[in-house]
Amino acid sequence: MPPVPSPFDGLGEVAPGKLEENIEQLARHDLRGFVILGSNGEYVYLDEEEKVALFKAARRAIPKDKLFIAGTGTESTRAALRLTKIAAEVGADVAIVITPAYYKPAMTADALLRHFITLAEASPIPLILYNMPAYTGLDLTTETILRLAEHPNIIGLKESSGNLVKISEITRSVSEKELDFAVLAGSASFLQPALMMGASGGVLASVNVAPDHCIAIYKACQQGKVEESRKLQQAILPLNGAVTTRYGVAGLKFMMDKLGLYGGPVRPPLLPLNPTDQELLLKLA
């Protein structure tokens, strides 16, 4: 599933129509669904009204046979629950919720357990946990994740740490306990090994610009074609690195523009790619 970037027009306003166009193009590929307002959606720079406008646009565009996963994480439990309920009213199938992180020392296991369980108890749609330590500075522990996985309304985890031992421990434990809980790789940089360790799929920035390649990795793993999946995994690394850690959202949007989708500008304080970086990115891709 792609975490679809949030499109902005030349004046910096959200462009819901462009989001619809991008989803319609991407939906031609064999994707399981779409994540709206993940990290690549620049969700931290959007106000609630803008978020709701993009949720509504996404619901109009996402085919009914594909999942609509709405990013509803905020710093407070109250605000996250409010946005989750709004997303459900709009028609989202699932909410994906990132860890609150501003008061890091106070975000103990107990605080995070209460946050997510409170949301799960009151949410009208299922939740996916979103662990993104590179951005939040917090890393949900295996123990905390496994405790949350026991809640019937918490159905999965997007794990972006790249910790394959952790992924393996979680998938083994949920399998032994027969829990209905999916682990999703958070980057194409470790999609193949995560699938080999029991992950169910991935929410990957690279799906926006190389959907068929990412799908091929998944299918090769499902079919037990280990060598083929390994070669496909190695081949995606330069592009994935360019549109994630190296150039980030600006790089991803630039590549989308080059591939016939709408990338458009990033929202300040993020900076667009300079001409030199644009040339380097095209070479890497």
Q: Which of 158, 177, 219, 253 is catalytic?
A: 158
Band (55; pLDDT cuts 50, 70, 90): very high
Give a yes or no: residue 254 inside a domain: no
Angle between helices 164-176 and 142-149 (to 10 degrees): 30
For the cut 90, the answer to whether the pLDDT of residue 271 exceeds it is yes
- 134-162 exposure pattern, b = at least 16 Cβ within 10 A, e = fewer: eebebbbebebbbbbbebebbbbbbbbbb
Give a yes or no: residue 271 inside a domain: no
Evaluate whether 9 touches 44 at the Cβ level (below 8 Å): no
Evaluate whether 236 touches 218 at the Cβ level (below 8 Å): no
**How many domains does the chain fold into?**
1
Band (32; pLDDT cuts 50, 70, 90): very high
CA distances to 8, 30, 126, 178 from 181, rounded to whole Å, are: 35, 22, 11, 9
SS3 94: strand
Query: pLDDT of 90-122, one tens digit each?
Result: 999 999 999 999 999 999 999 999 999 999 999
pTM: 0.97
Using CA atoms, how far apart are residues 195 and 117, in angstroms rounded to an integer?
A: 27
Which residue blocks in 138-225 are alpha helix, DSSP H?
142-149, 164-176, 191-196, 211-222
pLDDT at 253: 98
CATH for 123: 3.20.20.70
Give a yes or no: residue 168 inside a domain: yes
Band (284; pLDDT cuts 50, 70, 90): confident
What would the two tokens of residue 69 be?
């996963």
Query: pLDDT of 147-164, one tens digit each?
Result: 999 999 999 999 999 999
Give a yes or no: residue 184 inside a domain: yes
pLDDT at 283: 87
For the cut 80, the answer to whether the pLDDT of residue 61 exceeds it is yes
Give a yes or no: residue 285 inside a domain: no
Q: Which domain holds residue 221?
A: 3-229
Q: Give yes or no: 158 in active site.
A: yes
Give a yes or no: residue 265 inside a domain: no
Give a yes or no: residue 164 inside a domain: yes
Band (229; pLDDT cuts 50, 70, 90): very high
